[in-house]
Amino acid sequence: MYAKVIVDVAHSEVDKQFEYFCDDSVKVGCRVKVPFGGRVIDGFVVGVSESSEYPPEKIKSIVSVFDEPPALIGECFSLMQSICKRYRVPKAVALRLFLPTEMRTGKVMELYKRFAYFKEEVPLKRSAKKQAEALLFIKQNSGTEFSALCNAFGRAAVNSLVEKGAIEVVSKKINRNPMVEVSGEGVQKQLTPDQENAVQSVENSEKRVHLIHGVTGSGKTEIYLNIIARQLQRGKSAIFLVPEISLTPQMLSQLRERFKGQAAILHSGLSAGERFDEWWRLRSGEAKIAIGARSAIFAPLENIGAIIIDEEHDSSYFSESSPRYSTIEIAKMRAEYNGAKLILGSATPSVESFIMASEGKYNLITLTKRINKRPLPEIIIADMRREVKRGNASAFSKALREELSSALESGNQAIIFLNRRGYSQTVICQDCGYIAKCENCDVTLTYHSEENLLKCHYCGAKYRMLPACPDCGGRHIRYNGTGTQRVVSDLKELFPNAKILRMDNDTVSGKDGHYKILKQFAEKKADILVGTQMIAKGHDFPSVTLVGILDADMSLHFADYRSGERTFQLITQVSGRSGRAGDKGKVVLQTYSPENYILRYAVSYDYKGFFANEMALRKSTGFPPYSLICRVMVTGTDDKLALETLKSVYFAIDDIRKENLDEFIFFNKMHSPIKKIQGKVRYQVLMRLKGKKLLPQIYDIAVNNSSAHTLVFVEENPNNLS
């Protein structure tokens, strides 16, 4: 027999199939070890055949075979081909997407434990007291873990019982089951008529993709769970994606409770062993629901009935490393292959998805009301220009201070949201205008008061706080802007008796850092939660009746065509945390531009108005979805080489452009806005194209110009143009 093998090397030169001798234990989809260029490396079997075109003396043998059943399912190879064609990556790179990293490096193995079982009575000496006790125990507790039995009665006693044949020891494979604390929320709720209609609409529509546009608190989770349950009844499996899994402990415990062992969680916060076991539970068919963030779209499930993408507008659904895939695009491929339903859900769908729905390409399901007819929170605009005129230079408007005290007085909780972390944004010398920047990254540093350090948020470098300006020696150093740490210390002064929690990238660390903070807040161990984007996602805290948005404008002024959309989404999502149960909710939105149309639409919860306006704007200015922004990045440590590569990329694309003038709206080459990150210079060719027609050629140019020294890659409608 001959196996066709793709070697696990991310290089276009070895991006083909190699043949090896094998026996019939080798099946398509197995991982194998093969001799390759004097070494033994990992590979994937993509085909098995009886004959070979190569002369036998040139063919080597497979060294060893892993996996029973094969790790890669048949669908992987079809997806691999689509992914390679679409994103121009070597096959090995595409196949790696389907396996947890720890499996590729081969470091994690199955965990076995030994258990003791009672077999039969045996005569014991009178003096053997321990043995008698142990025998009595195991008779009543057959199946106790062997090591626990040894700990209780002594290894010698237990071993002699084994020798006498009284106890049998059996090794068993253990699933390291990442137990999420169970909340009692798993009970199935009686669906409201709106929810029932939504489930029916998904069931009955012939369309492949369904968009559930439901206001915050409209009960989307319950709809998803019902869709999944119906697919399981039909013997099918399901994938359920959330933006950031560590931020959704409530959702996870609901799923665990409802579906018990049928749900498996793929989650970067798990230990490698746990993730390995959860993955195999899916592969073996024991678990039928894969839950996770972006990468769980590659879960090893067969016969998929539904793929659900919650908060579908979230930017985390775009991969930022090679291949730079869109999760929705991959989900469409998998849904197509399996004949499955793809369900996108959000209170603020991306304009790309909503336009598909309004053109009838997706099945649109709208939920306009919260569960139990709870009103959406009232949003009060606080004009910060007026506050400054009144002499209030603090981060809190009068309205927010008043609403905070009344929320706290009535025993409710509040969430304070701002976009920045750290104590303050930038450090400026007031004498000469010097701004502290990172040496590796060409970005401004942020002051962190707890450690009294300056930090780079791009590479993590730390710098000591300066007593004087390094440029002019001046001692008038000022901090600009407000960060989460600053807000917390200001709040402590305003409300000395309130308990305050802070959640941002600095406070959350370790496996369940997020979870611990969210749990404390959910248990009402604190009155106020201060945080960045992380607290905007779908949390459901019943006692929160006030949300303060400190700097609603921040994201409005980013130089990005999406900034309006992002701001609208952020305000709606953060506001949606208020008034979900109990008392009516309020939101205080602080801004320096209260007349801005985006804020106006957000305040009146007018998604349709926002959408119409945004689309008109995008159309007249020629921005996505009416065009495609394409950026070819060139980065490397050697500036000269990178610049040469940039030129060669630029001229190659220019040749295409000359033949396709009407496809190009914009075309130029330049330094990237951030000229250096982690010591690597960054150049770019920036284009705005009419459509996707020329993408394959542009990807080819990137691949052909990439080298060991200079990395060249393509980004489509990048989330971040820095």
Partner touching 190 among ligand ADP, Zn ion, none, CB below 5 to 8 Å by kind: ligand ADP
Is residue 453 at the binding interface for ligand ADP, with CB under 6 A as the rule? Answer: no
Q: Write the DSSP string, 602-632.
A: HHTT-HHHHHHHHHHHHHHHT-TTSSEEEEE
Binding mask 359-398 for ligand ADP (x = CB under 6 A): ------------x---------------------------
HEC secondary structure over 457-474: CCCCCEEECCCCCCCCCC
Is residue 442 at the binding interface for ligand ADP, with CB under 6 A as the rule? Answer: no
Q: Write the DSSP string, 141-174.
A: STTEEHHHHHHHH-HHHHHHHHHTTSEEEEEEEE
Q: Residue 212 or residue 550: which is nearer to ligand ADP going by CB?
A: 212
State which of residues 131, 221, 397, 484 lies at the interface with ligand ADP (CB under 6 A).
221
Query: At which residue do the structure tokens 């801004």 appear?
Result: 591
Q: Residue 232 or residue 461: which is nearer to Zn ion going by CB?
A: 461
Least spacing, CB of residue 245 vs ligand ADP, in Å: 15
Longest dimension (CA), the chain: 99
Is residue 643 at the binding interface for ligand ADP, with CB under 6 A as the rule? Answer: no
Q: What SS3 state is found at 579?
A: coil
Q: Crossing angle of helices 695-705/639-659, nearest 10°?
A: 150
Supply 18's token pair. 């190699």
Distance CA 277, CA 498 (A): 43
Is residue 191 at the binding interface for ligand ADP, with CB under 6 A as the rule? Answer: yes
Q: Residue 33 or residue 457: which is nearer to Zn ion going by CB?
A: 457
Q: Judged by CB under 6 A, how many residues of this single chain contact ligand ADP?
A: 17
Supply 487's token pair. 């807000």
What's the first-to-final CA gap in the chain, in angstroms? 52
Q: What SS3 state is found at 283?
A: helix
Is residue 216 at the binding interface for ligand ADP, with CB under 6 A as the rule? Answer: yes
Stretch that binds ligand ADP, among 189-197, 352-360, 385-393, 709-717 (CB under 6 A): 189-197
**What is the side-by-side strand order in the sheet with 586-591?**
378-383, 586-591, 544-549, 413-417, 528-531, 500-503
State which of residues 70, 217, 292, 579 lies at the interface with ligand ADP (CB under 6 A).
217
Is residue 540 at the binding interface for ligand ADP, with CB under 6 A as the rule? Answer: yes
Cα of 31 vs its chain's centroid, Å:
27
Least spacing, CB of residue 438 vs Zn ion, in Å: 3
Whether the ω angle into residue 542 lies within 30 degrees of 0, i.e. cis, is: no
Distance CA 569, CA 248 (A): 18
Binding mask 451-470 for Zn ion (x = CB under 5 A): -----x-xx-x---------
Pairing of strands 363-367, 544-549: unpaired
Element (H, E) at 589: strand 586-591
Q: How many CB atoms lie within 10 A of CB 30?
A: 24
Stretch that binds ligand ADP, among 21-29, 184-192, 511-519, 589-597 (CB under 6 A): 184-192
Is residue 575 at the binding interface for ligand ADP, with CB under 6 A as the rule? Answer: no
State which of residues 214, 349, 422, 548 lies at the interface with ligand ADP (CB under 6 A).
214
State which of residues 131, 192, 246, 573 lies at the interface with ligand ADP (CB under 6 A).
192
Is residue 440 at the binding interface for Zn ion, with CB under 5 A as the rule? Answer: yes
Q: Supply the DSSP symbol for 523.
A: T
Least spacing, CB of residue 185 vs ligand ADP, in Å: 7
Supply 722's token pair. 């820095």
Pairing of strands 586-591, 664-677: unpaired
Is residue 403 at the binding interface for ligand ADP, with CB under 6 A as the rule? Answer: no
Q: Supply the DSSP symbol for 424.
A: B
Stretch that binds ligand ADP, among 183-191, 286-294, 546-554, 591-599 (CB under 6 A): 183-191
State which of residues 127, 190, 204, 509 lies at the interface with ligand ADP (CB under 6 A).
190
Least spacing, CB of residue 218 vs Zn ion, in Å: 42
State which of residues 160, 175, 195, 532 lies at the interface with ligand ADP (CB under 6 A).
195
Partner touching 440 among ligand ADP, Zn ion, none, CB below 5 to 8 Å by kind: Zn ion
Q: Residue 209 or residue 681: which is nearer to Zn ion going by CB?
A: 681
HSE-up of residue 391 (Cα within 13 Å, Cβ side):
0
Stretch that binds ligand ADP, among 188-196, 291-299, 352-360, 503-511 (CB under 6 A): 188-196
State which of residues 85, 172, 173, 189 lies at the interface with ligand ADP (CB under 6 A).
189
Partner touching 538 among Zn ion, ligand ADP, none, CB below 5 to 8 Å by kind: ligand ADP
Phi, psi of 99, rounded to the nearest 5 degrees: -120, 140
Is residue 248 at the binding interface for ligand ADP, with CB under 6 A as the rule? Answer: no
Least Cα distance to 228 among 266, 268, 256 occurs for 256
Supply 229's token pair. 């349950």
HEC secondary structure over 380-399: EEEEHHHHHHCCCCCCCCHH
Stretch that binds ligand ADP, among 159-167, 217-225, 582-590, 690-698 (CB under 6 A): 217-225
Whether the Cβ atoms of residue 17 and residue 57 lie closer than 8 Å to each other: no
Q: Residue 221 or residue 485: which is nearer to ligand ADP going by CB?
A: 221
Partner touching 458 among Zn ion, ligand ADP, none, CB below 5 to 8 Å by kind: Zn ion
Q: What is the CA radius of gyration of the chain?
A: 29
State which of residues 296, 438, 570, 712 lies at the interface with Zn ion (CB under 5 A).
438
Q: Residue 221 or residue 532: which is nearer to ligand ADP going by CB?
A: 221
Partner touching 441 among Zn ion, ligand ADP, none, CB below 5 to 8 Å by kind: Zn ion
Whether the ω angle into residue 69 lies within 30 degrees of 0, i.e. cis, is: yes
CA 259 vs CA 232, 237, 358: distances in Å: 10, 12, 34
Partner touching 545 among Zn ion, ligand ADP, none, CB below 5 to 8 Å by kind: none
Q: Which residues bind Zn ion (CB under 5 A)?
A: 438, 440-441, 456, 458-459, 461
Q: Which residues bind ligand ADP (CB under 6 A)?
A: 189-192, 195, 214, 216-222, 371, 538, 540, 580
